[in-house]
Amino acid sequence: MFRNTMPRYEILSPDAIGVLDKGWRRIVSEIGVQFAKPEALELFRRAGQKVEDEVVFLDPDFVLEQVAKAPREFDIQARNPANSVHIGGDQMVFGGVYGCPFIREGNVRRDATMDDFRRLSMLAQTFPELDTAGGVICEPNDTPLDSRHLDMIYALQTVTDKIYMGNVVSAVNAADTIRMTEILFGGREAIEKTPATISLINCNSPLRWDDRMLESQIEYSSANQPVVLTPFLLMGAMSPVSIPATLAQQMAEGLAGIALTQLIRPGCPVVFGSFLSNTDMQSGSPSFGTPESAIGVLCTGQIARHFGLPWRGGGALNASQTVDAQAAYESLMTLLPTFLAGANFVMHSAGWLEGGLVSCYEKFIVDIELLRELRHEFTPLEIDEASLAFDAHVEVGAGGHFLGAAHTLERFRECFYRPLLSSTENFDRWTKKGGRDSTARAAEIWRKQLDDYVQPPLDDAVRTELDEFVVRRRAELGD
């Protein structure tokens, strides 16, 4: 895990925080938040909140009382204890792209398959920069819709030994995820004591938590498994066209969802989520890697710390159709504020392309390079007397060079960042080796990673129980 101990970049003044605080309070109390699930409405009604049809009008002080019950930090166990993670504080947890129906491999864009899902999960296993493959790292369209969640969770549990995200399409899928997690970790008591999966619950913005998300949230929270409660905000479409108004809406939606989680199970871990960008008002398409989205990430980190909550934000987001300069600079425009703001849980850290429609192998490698560079850049510089290398100056003197100095030969491997992908060769050497651009080099890297992949061991009895569960459930679901 990467621990970001650098100072946080905060851009909101105390007065600005106060204005935003008034904004979300007015939204939840005067407009209300829709919860399209009777069980959720009943929980709010019993807690003394005003309910009209599916809209809950919330007392802001009640919301804050519930939010205060959520832990500031918590652990998630992996089947390899070395890969367990801590959510909150200075820790940053990175996961792959999530939810893409398409795959890009080289110049080919096509429907994603289960084989792609496994291969992307294997890549996530091989790179230490990723703490999790994620969840729906791509949507395998060659498997039956009703049972594909079983295959995806099984892959995440077997080809990786890192933490994984649960399926949230329905209560059935969530329950199956929990049962498979119980099998992997030795029972319900073991995963309730220390959570073993984390799941994404998206708000159907503006101001609506829909029935499928809520039923999955109820399943996971009842089992004490953390959820990432995320308003889905594209300014100009799902929120007002200005950043301040969108931040107030994000606070209203996110805090209302967290309040529900604490009504389901007080003390259940949650993550304050943010997926905030803007809409291209000429085309109506989402824009990513914009200055507005970067400002949103920075503000969200400050807001989450104001409430004492771990938070999710950022990622390697971009709107490019291919792995080009646009894909790289837009991704960096989002990843850099992600580090500056110290996001605790970062989805879409590797492989995101085309506004989230595409999981791309080559982009996966480009993003791993960005993560490696940023982690290096955000590691505090240690300065002491030895680091000043006075003896090297004595050896070289005036007008010399340090290429062959003892200090250089002893330390250059540990002192300099060593690129995974970038080329530093001169033009002639680069040309003799085929003149490959970074996308071509990325293709070579991911293929070699898969050639060298070694599947982590899994207890035979556990594997057998998982196999039997998947076969039984597939038959029960008619697939």
Could you read off the pLDDT of 319-375 as tens digits, one per residue?
A: 999 999 999 999 999 999 999 999 999 999 999 999 999 999 999 999 999 999 999
| CA-based nearest residue to 124, from 441, 351, 312, 378 | 351
Sequence-distant (≥ 6) Cβ neighbours of residue 54 within 8 angstroms: 34, 35, 36, 41
Average pLDDT of the segment spanning 117-133: 97
Q: State the average pLDDT for the chain.
A: 96
Residue 415 has pLDDT above 80, yes or no: no
Across 197-219, average pLDDT: 98
- H or E stretch including 66? helix 60-67
Q: What is the mean pLDDT of residues 68-88?
A: 98
Task: Work out the pLDDT band at 205, boundaries 50, 70, 90.
Answer: very high
Flag whether pLDDT at 479 surpasses 80. no
Which pLDDT does position 413 carry in this prediction?
79
pLDDT of residue 212: 96
**Is the pLDDT confidence value at 414 over 90?**
no
Strand (E) or helix (H) holding 34: strand 33-35
**E-only strand ranges, 330-394:** 345-346, 352-353, 358-360
Least trusted range by pLDDT, from 87-101, 364-378, 413-427, 430-444: 413-427
Q: Tokens in use for 414?
A: 């540990």
Burial of 445 (0-12, 13-18, 19+ CB in 10 A): buried
Q: How confident is the model at residue 412 (pLDDT cuts 50, 70, 90)?
A: confident
What was the pLDDT predicted at 417? 86
Confidence of residue 416 (pLDDT cuts 50, 70, 90): confident
| Token reading at 104 | 């890009």
Question: Taking phi first (over 0 means left), then psi (-120 to 50 degrees means alpha), and beta for anything else, what does residue 53 get?
Answer: left
Minimal CA–CA distance to 127: which of 303, 288, 349? 349
Mean predicted confidence (pLDDT) in 127-156: 96
